[in-house]
Amino acid sequence: MLQAAIAGLLAGYAIAIPVGAIAVLIIHTGLSHGLRTGIAAAAGAASADLLYASIAALAGLWVTSLIGPLIGPLRVVGGAILIALGLRGLMTLRSARESINPIAAHDEARRPHHRTYLALLALTLLNPATVVYFTALTIGLPFLGGLGERLVFAVAAGFASLSWQLLLATVGAALGRGGGHRVRYWSAAIGNGVIVVLGALIAFSALGAPS
């Protein structure tokens, strides 16, 4: 069981730590809307990793064969959604800059936490390559033989993802709290711009991938 837990922790961190669109989005959420909303975003992303790790542990090979052809189209959809979110954020910042209160977008009460959670859950689930990654590990690690070891692996992977995502949300919230209005504005603008660029890279790389 201990081996399974350690392997799950390492696997969870390995898939969560690389900086990508979801990581940028979590930092941006914490910066723009505060720690509680950032925590909701972190929990949504980590829940998706936990779900995919559990699926891989229980029915990895069957699920991998099922979703394999869908990975490309889902990445295109995910990239398009990220582009839309980034552009919407930029438009909101522009409107806020022209209004009387230039930091209205930072008001945490304006963002329902459950919507943030569901949005990040859905966006992270749009990367089904995660389940392929976890499946390869559950098959390749010889000590993940029984159901108990596989479930421990999945839970540990989800915990690792959650701890990293919470760190990102905390960093974003600290940047938003520590900076002045101008710093928050430009940080949010850069964050939205990065989200648009990453979304475009994800979508175009999926479109250009061989079928």
Q: What is the largest CA-CA distance in the chain?
A: 62
From 122, 126, 124, 117, select the one nearest 12 (Cα to Cα).
124
Residue written as token pair 């052809």:
69
The answer, yes or no, to whether residue 59 has pLDDT greater than 50, is: yes
Structural domain boundaries, residue 144: 2-71+103-179
Question: What confidence score (pLDDT) does residue 111 get?
Answer: 62
Q: Which two tokens stand for residue 137?
A: 């590990």
Task: Please write the tens of the pLDDT for every residue from 140-178.
Answer: 666 666 778 878 888 999 999 999 999 999 998 888 776
Q: Is residue 96 part of a domain?
A: no
Residue with tokens 């421990």: 152
**Is pLDDT at 95 greater than 70 in this prediction?**
no
Query: Tell me: the pLDDT tens digits for 101-137?
Result: 444 444 444 568 889 999 999 988 887 777 777 777 7
φ and ψ at residue 170, rounded to 5 degrees: -65, -40
C-alpha 30, offset from chain centre: 13
146, part of any domain: yes
Backbone angles phi, psi at 17, to 5 degrees: -70, -40
C-alpha angle 113/117/122, rounded to 5°?
150
Q: What percent of the chain has pLDDT over 90?
A: 18
pTM here? 0.73
Number of domains in the chain: 1
- In contact, 24 and 45? CB cutoff 8 Å: no
Identify the pLDDT of residue 167. 95
Residue 169 lies in a domain: yes
